[in-house]
Amino acid sequence: QVTLKESGPGMLQPSKTLSLTCSFSGFSLSTSGMVVSWIRQPSGKSLEWLAAIDWDGDKYYNPSLKSRLTVSKDTSNTQVFLKITSVDIADTATYYCARNTEASYYFDYWGQGVMVTVSS
C-alpha cells in the first residue's frame, strides 16, 4: 500500500526558509523510474507543480521558482525534502508530495497535504 505524508512548520515569518518533509512507504525511491514531486495549492486556488526528484537523484524544478527551491532525498530513500528560501505571503498554501514516474508525470498517489501559513 502506497502512502505519503507531508510535515512542516505550520507557520513561519516572511523572508525565512520553509523546510518540508515527505515521508512515504509502499515504494522505494531507489527503484528505477520512481519520482516524488512537490505540488502546492493556495486556498481556493488551483495546483502548482514545484519540483521533483527521481530515483537517480536527478532534480527538476519549476523555472518560475527555481532560484528559491531545493529538493533532496535521504539515503534510505524513504523521505524527500523541499526547501523554499525567502518565503512571503504568496507562499501560503497547502503543500503536497505525490508519486509519479520518470516516464509519466501524472501523480497517482498523493499525501494528505500540509498547510503552511506565511505571516509576520
Partner 1 sequence: ETTVTQSPASLSMAVGEKVSISCKTSTDIDDDMNWYQQKSGEAPKLLISEGNTLRPGVPSRFSSSGYGTDFVFTINNVLLGDEGIYYCQQSDNVPYTFGAGTKLELK
| Residues within the interface to partner 1 (CB under 8 A) | 37, 46-49, 60, 62-64, 96, 98, 104-108, 110-113
Give the CA distances from residue 40 to residues 1, 75, 76, 99, in Å, rounded to whole numbers and listed in that order: 24, 25, 25, 14
Q: From the centroid of its chain, how far is CA 109?
A: 13
Q: Shortest distance, CB of residue 78 to partner 1, whole angstroms?
A: 20
Q: Shortest distance, CB of residue 114 to partner 1, whole angstroms?
A: 11
Cβ neighbours, 10 Å, residue 25? 11
Between residues 1 and 106, which has the closer beta carbon with respect to partner 1?
Answer: 106
Between residues 75 and 106, which has the closer beta carbon with respect to partner 1?
Answer: 106
Between residues 59 and 83, which has the closer beta carbon with respect to partner 1?
Answer: 59
CA distance linking residue 25 with residue 79, whole number of Å: 9
